[in-house]
Chain A
Amino acid sequence: MPVEIDIAHVARLARLGLSEQELDHYRRQLGVILEHAARVQELEGEPSVDVTHPLGMVNAFREDLPGDSLDRDELLAQAPETRDGYFVAPPALEG
């Protein structure tokens, strides 16, 4: 059963600039994956394990105790651009 995919929309959500050729290529690849998923969904009944959380574990928490943070100079040294202790990024909105 073929699955309809708006590949351009998917690419936009992932912030990927793809050419027509690439869009076609990925549409076909993603289509195969989704067709497989659709086949799995046709199986009768509920899965016997929680597929998103298969560990069978609950309530793994930590106590509310503050600890050490990173050294700022070392941290900022990893960034392409910084100013006065801040990371610098391109403008958030165009227009």
Chain B
Amino acid sequence: MTWEAVIGIEVHVELSTESKMFCSCEVSFGAEPNTKVCPTCLGLPGALPVPNEKALDSIMAIGLALNCKVAPNSVFHRKNYFYADLPKNYQISQFDVPVCLDGYLDTTVDGETHRVGIERAHMEEDTGKSTHVGEGGRIHAASSTLLDFNRSGVPLVEIVSRPDIHSAAQARSYAQALRGVVAELGVSDARLEEGSIRFDANISIRPEGDDELGTKVEVKNMNSFRSLEQAVDYEIKRQIDLVESGGTVIQETRHWDEEAGVTHSMRTKEGSSDYRYFAEPDLVPMEMGREWVDRIAATLPELPEQRLERYRSAGLEDTLAAVLSGADSPLRGLYEDAVESGADARAAANWVTGEVTAWARRNETETQDLAISGSQLAGLLALIDDGKVSASAAKDVLDGVLLGEGDPAEVAESRDLIQISDSAAIDAVVDEVLQTNPDAVESLRNGEDKVLGFLVGQVMRATRGKADPQLVNATIRERVGSG
């Protein structure tokens, strides 16, 4: 039987606000444990939450970037469960009226656009951080749990996809695209290794062609795109093997073990109703009016997928467009400015992603420190186009410009890289070379074309590489009459 995997992804994005979601404790990654806490984020009796407006701005930006509708009204709910890192015994979250609903994100997998529906994006608060210590540091053998509540109450946006993903590669591509959007918006540090963006996958299998969904398993603890892909891949195979050998998939949460490359069962998942959601009585409802939504929409930057489309329509082929779109923003800015100054889009993109990037890497220079303007790059490309410098000499010109030696024309001059394209000058050198190599001239006349390369080489050597090879080629053929 052929099986189809059905995957939905839940993403938690920690917002990089200055203060927490419901109190004014500072949001600070890496602070000494339990130094950024107060009665509200510790869940002490009598403390009252007050929502951070900036966090609402951020979730609306995320929702709009993911083509979601912003709900006109929204409320917070309490999600009740017991865990040591949740001091109130409930998390303030959202249930049936989230801030953002019903969007999508387009991603590219193997050159094809794949659309993943977004069911919702809701606002909630993060929990504290627990470290399990004891024999071997393994969670199953822990002898106690250390708790740091600095993260407790940090604003968190949960983005829930529809089960539109059917392979590990698609899961990875969706996660990467989503991270790209969040990073572009600047609403989160979006660093996987620091946990400021976290991916959980809900995975089930069903016989291909079936409409009904199988029992889903939630897989957690993937802290890189690679481990997300591996974990999804592993879990799909595990479920298929289990079912094919007569077993049944049970609804549970499984933990990805990076070292062993397997998933382990964690605990039987409590059903949704067991969280006993109810409206948070300490918080009043929210109204996201037209004006507020418009204000946020006006601040949205160009998003990766839109940029890619713009590059493609400027004439860049897919790979080049993708490489440029993924480049640092100073490099993209250089490309934009060069095109603005009249450079050909493909030539500019090729130079930015090729030679300029290579130069930065070779010279260990941060891309924002590159000392070349868009008009200088356009100038360099014009020198090549006009036949003033050869493509290889242009790399030297670039080096000079980046080292602050002046504009491309000045560098070409001072480094003596201007191509000789004055035909009288070339004629003279060609004549001299032909006179000193009568045998080669004879061979060429007799149709031995390979000596042409030798003669061109001699002229290039005599001009120290500055002659325009095309012109030299044509001149020799014309003089020898072998054209």
Interface size on B, residues (CB 8 A): 55
A17 interface contact, C-beta 8 A: no
Residue-wise, chain B 239-262 has the 8 Å CB interface mask toward A (1 for contact) of 000000000000000000000000
Residue-wise, chain B 112-144 has the 8 Å CB interface mask toward A (1 for contact) of 000000000000000000111010000110111
Among B34, B35, B80, B279, the most chain A Cβ lie within 10 Å of the Cβ of B34
Q: Which residues of A contact B51 (CB under 8 A)?
A: 60-62
In order of increasing CB-CB distance, the 4 nearest A-B pairs are A67-B24, A64-B54, A52-B279, A61-B53
Residue-wise, chain A 76-92 has the 8 Å CB interface mask toward B (1 for contact) of 10000001111111111
Give the residue of B24, B36, B266, B278 whose beta carbon is less than 8 angstroms from that of A62. Answer: B24
Cβ contact within 8 Å between B134 and A53: no
A50 smallest CB distance to B (angstroms): 8
A-B contact pairs, 5 of them (CB 8 A): A53-B279, A84-B33, A85-B33, A86-B146, A88-B145
B378 smallest CB distance to A (angstroms): 42
A57 interface contact, C-beta 8 A: yes
Q: Which residues of A contact B17 (CB under 8 A)?
A: 64
Q: Considering the chains assembled together, what is the distance between the CA atoms of A60 and B114 in angstroms?
A: 40
Cβ contact within 8 Å between B145 and A59: no
Cβ contact within 8 Å between B18 and A92: no
B425 interface contact, C-beta 8 A: no
For B148, give the chain A residue with the smallest CB separation. A86
Q: Which residues 37-95 of A sit at the B interface, judged by CB distance below 8 A?
A: 50, 52-53, 55, 57-70, 72, 75-76, 83-93, 95
Q: Considering the chains assembled together, what is the distance between the CA atoms of A50 and B35 in angstroms?
A: 39
Give the residue of B52, B55, B83 whose beta carbon is less than 8 angstroms from that of A92. Answer: B83
Cβ contact within 8 Å between B24 and A13: no
Given contacts A86-B148, A88-B145, A89-B145, contact A62 B35 (CB under 8 A): no
Cβ contact within 8 Å between B18 and A59: no
Interface stretch (choices B284-292, B315-323, B469-477): B284-292
Cβ contact within 8 Å between A52 and B34: no
B125 smallest CB distance to A (angstroms): 14
A33 smallest CB distance to B (angstroms): 15
Known interface pairs A87-B149, A92-B145; 16 further A-B residue pairs with C-beta atoms within 8 A, sorted by A's residue number: A52-B281, A53-B284, A58-B287, A61-B51, A61-B56, A62-B51, A64-B17, A64-B18, A64-B55, A67-B26, A70-B38, A75-B42, A84-B146, A86-B146, A90-B145, A91-B134
Q: Considering the chains assembled together, what is the distance between the CA atoms of A70 and B35 in angstroms?
A: 7
For B289, give the chain A residue with the smallest CB separation. A59
Q: Considering the chains assembled together, what is the distance between the CA atoms of A87 and B34 in angstroms?
A: 8
Cβ contact within 8 Å between A15 and B82: yes
B336 smallest CB distance to A (angstroms): 31
Give the residue of A52, A66, A95 whose beta carbon is less than 8 angstroms from that of B24. Answer: A66
For A53, give the chain B residue with the smallest CB separation. B285
Interface size on A, residues (CB 8 A): 35
A31 smallest CB distance to B (angstroms): 18
A1 smallest CB distance to B (angstroms): 21
Q: Which residues of A contact B24 (CB under 8 A)?
A: 62, 65-68
A12 smallest CB distance to B (angstroms): 9
Cβ contact within 8 Å between A58 and B19: no
Q: Considering the chains assembled together, what is the distance between the CA atoms of A61 and B50 in angstroms?
A: 6
Cβ contact within 8 Å between B139 and A93: yes
For A94, give the chain B residue with the smallest CB separation. B140
A77 smallest CB distance to B (angstroms): 12
Q: Which residues of B contact A72 (CB under 8 A)?
A: 32, 34-35
Cβ contact within 8 Å between A85 and B18: no
Q: Which residues 1-22 of B sit at the A interface, judged by CB distance below 8 A?
A: 17-19
Among A67, A90, A92, A95, the most chain B Cβ lie within 10 Å of the Cβ of A92
Cβ contact within 8 Å between B266 and A93: yes
Give the residue of B18, B131, B266 whose beta carbon is less than 8 angstroms from that of A86. Answer: B131
B237 interface contact, C-beta 8 A: no
A5 smallest CB distance to B (angstroms): 14
Cβ contact within 8 Å between A89 and B147: yes
Given contacts A52-B279, A66-B25, A85-B32, contact A91 B19 (CB under 8 A): no
Residue-wise, chain B 23-54 has the 8 Å CB interface mask toward A (1 for contact) of 01111000011111111001000000011111
Q: Considering the chains assembled together, what is the distance between the CA atoms of A70 and B24 in angstroms?
A: 11
For A13, give the chain B residue with the smallest CB separation. B274
B362 interface contact, C-beta 8 A: no
B84 interface contact, C-beta 8 A: yes
B479 interface contact, C-beta 8 A: no
Q: Considering the chains assembled together, what is the distance between the CA atoms of A60 and B51 in angstroms?
A: 7
Residue-wise, chain B 72-84 has the 8 Å CB interface mask toward A (1 for contact) of 0001000010111
